[in-house]
Amino acid sequence: MKEIIATDRAPKAIGPYSQAVKLGNLLFTSGQVPLDPRSGQMVTGDIKAQVRRVMDNLREILEASGTSLDHVLKTTCYLRNMDDFSAMNEVYADYFPKTPPARSCIQAARLPRDCDVEIDAIAVVPPVS
Protein backbone atom coordinates (compact mmCIF):
# COMPACT_ATOMS: atom_id res chain seq x y z
CA MET A 1 0.00 0.00 0.00
CA LYS A 2 1.23 3.44 -0.77
CA GLU A 3 1.33 6.00 2.02
CA ILE A 4 0.90 9.72 1.39
CA ILE A 5 3.35 11.91 3.29
CA ALA A 6 2.46 15.46 4.34
CA THR A 7 4.18 17.83 6.74
CA ASP A 8 3.63 21.47 7.56
CA ARG A 9 7.42 21.87 7.89
CA ALA A 10 7.65 21.96 4.08
CA PRO A 11 5.55 23.89 1.56
CA LYS A 12 2.07 22.56 0.96
CA ALA A 13 1.49 21.12 -2.49
CA ILE A 14 0.51 23.86 -4.95
CA GLY A 15 -1.39 21.44 -7.14
CA PRO A 16 -2.98 17.98 -7.18
CA TYR A 17 0.04 16.05 -5.87
CA SER A 18 1.54 14.88 -2.57
CA GLN A 19 4.72 16.12 -0.94
CA ALA A 20 5.91 12.52 -1.01
CA VAL A 21 4.67 8.97 -1.46
CA LYS A 22 6.08 5.98 0.41
CA LEU A 23 5.80 2.47 -0.99
CA GLY A 24 7.41 -0.26 1.06
CA ASN A 25 10.78 1.13 2.10
CA LEU A 26 11.05 3.57 -0.82
CA LEU A 27 10.13 7.24 -0.66
CA PHE A 28 9.50 9.41 -3.71
CA THR A 29 9.35 13.14 -3.11
CA SER A 30 7.70 15.65 -5.36
CA GLY A 31 9.93 18.35 -6.76
CA GLN A 32 10.63 21.09 -4.26
CA VAL A 33 10.98 24.72 -5.25
CA PRO A 34 12.41 27.55 -3.11
CA LEU A 35 9.13 28.23 -1.34
CA ASP A 36 9.35 29.16 2.34
CA PRO A 37 6.83 26.98 4.22
CA ARG A 38 6.24 29.59 6.93
CA SER A 39 5.64 32.65 4.78
CA GLY A 40 4.40 30.92 1.63
CA GLN A 41 6.69 33.21 -0.35
CA MET A 42 9.35 32.27 -2.88
CA VAL A 43 12.92 32.80 -1.72
CA THR A 44 14.49 35.48 -3.83
CA GLY A 45 18.15 36.21 -4.33
CA ASP A 46 20.95 34.21 -5.80
CA ILE A 47 20.77 30.57 -6.78
CA LYS A 48 22.61 29.50 -3.62
CA ALA A 49 19.87 30.88 -1.36
CA GLN A 50 17.24 29.19 -3.50
CA VAL A 51 19.03 25.81 -3.46
CA ARG A 52 19.39 26.02 0.34
CA ARG A 53 15.63 26.53 0.70
CA VAL A 54 14.90 23.65 -1.69
CA MET A 55 17.25 21.31 0.15
CA ASP A 56 15.83 22.34 3.53
CA ASN A 57 12.34 21.58 2.21
CA LEU A 58 13.49 18.15 1.00
CA ARG A 59 15.16 17.42 4.34
CA GLU A 60 11.92 18.23 6.21
CA ILE A 61 9.88 15.92 3.98
CA LEU A 62 12.44 13.13 4.35
CA GLU A 63 12.50 13.48 8.13
CA ALA A 64 8.69 13.52 8.31
CA SER A 65 8.82 10.25 6.38
CA GLY A 66 11.22 8.57 8.79
CA THR A 67 14.36 8.94 6.70
CA SER A 68 17.07 11.50 6.03
CA LEU A 69 19.37 12.96 3.41
CA ASP A 70 21.83 10.16 4.28
CA HIS A 71 19.37 7.67 2.75
CA VAL A 72 18.75 9.47 -0.55
CA LEU A 73 19.47 7.22 -3.52
CA LYS A 74 18.80 9.58 -6.44
CA THR A 75 17.92 13.20 -7.08
CA THR A 76 16.88 15.07 -10.15
CA CYS A 77 17.79 18.75 -10.33
CA TYR A 78 16.11 21.14 -12.73
CA LEU A 79 17.79 24.48 -13.39
CA ARG A 80 16.35 27.34 -15.38
CA ASN A 81 19.89 28.33 -16.35
CA MET A 82 22.71 25.78 -16.60
CA ASP A 83 25.12 28.64 -15.86
CA ASP A 84 23.96 28.17 -12.23
CA PHE A 85 25.31 24.59 -12.17
CA SER A 86 28.55 25.33 -10.26
CA ALA A 87 26.83 27.50 -7.64
CA MET A 88 24.09 24.88 -7.21
CA ASN A 89 26.76 22.19 -6.74
CA GLU A 90 28.48 24.19 -3.98
CA VAL A 91 25.33 24.27 -1.85
CA TYR A 92 24.16 20.77 -2.84
CA ALA A 93 27.51 19.30 -1.70
CA ASP A 94 26.96 20.73 1.80
CA TYR A 95 23.85 18.55 2.13
CA PHE A 96 25.58 15.37 0.90
CA PRO A 97 29.11 15.61 2.38
CA LYS A 98 29.92 11.87 2.57
CA THR A 99 28.17 9.68 0.03
CA PRO A 100 26.21 11.75 -2.48
CA PRO A 101 23.32 10.07 -4.27
CA ALA A 102 23.09 9.42 -7.99
CA ARG A 103 21.85 12.53 -9.75
CA SER A 104 20.57 13.93 -12.99
CA CYS A 105 20.61 17.65 -13.71
CA ILE A 106 18.80 19.23 -16.61
CA GLN A 107 18.02 22.70 -17.82
CA ALA A 108 14.31 23.42 -17.93
CA ALA A 109 12.78 26.21 -19.98
CA ARG A 110 10.34 27.07 -17.20
CA LEU A 111 9.72 25.87 -13.65
CA PRO A 112 6.75 26.32 -11.29
CA ARG A 113 6.24 29.90 -10.14
CA ASP A 114 9.07 30.90 -12.49
CA CYS A 115 11.68 29.80 -9.96
CA ASP A 116 15.28 29.00 -10.87
CA VAL A 117 15.62 25.52 -9.31
CA GLU A 118 13.55 22.45 -8.47
CA ILE A 119 14.85 19.21 -6.96
CA ASP A 120 13.16 15.88 -6.22
CA ALA A 121 14.51 12.79 -4.48
CA ILE A 122 14.12 9.04 -4.10
CA ALA A 123 15.18 7.64 -0.72
CA VAL A 124 15.16 4.48 1.36
CA VAL A 125 13.21 4.55 4.60
CA PRO A 126 15.12 2.35 7.04
CA PRO A 127 13.13 -0.06 9.21
CA VAL A 128 12.19 1.21 12.66
CA SER A 129 14.03 -0.75 15.33
How close are the terminal C-alpha atoms of the chain, in Å?
21
Residue 61 pLDDT: 98
CATH T-level assignment (fold) for domain 2-124 = 60s Ribosomal Protein L30; Chain: A; (3.30.1330)
Reported as type and span, the H/E element at residue 50 is helix 47-64
Q: What is the pTM for the complete model shown? A: 0.96
For 14-60, the pLDDT digits (tens) are 889 999 999 999 999 999 999 999 999 999 889 999 999 999 999 99
Residues 6+ apart with CB under 8 A from 53: 34, 35, 36, 43
Instruction: Please report, for residues 1, 55, 91, 103, the alpha-carbon distance to residue 46 in angstroms, rounded to integers and kept in the order given.
Output: 41, 15, 12, 22
The single residue of 21, 42, 105, 111 carrying the catalytic annotation is 105
Residue 101 pLDDT: 98
| Residue 77 known to be catalytic | no
Average model confidence (pLDDT) across the chain: 96
User: Average pLDDT, stretch 103-116?
Assistant: 96
Kindly list the domain boundaries of the chain, sorted by start residue. 2-124
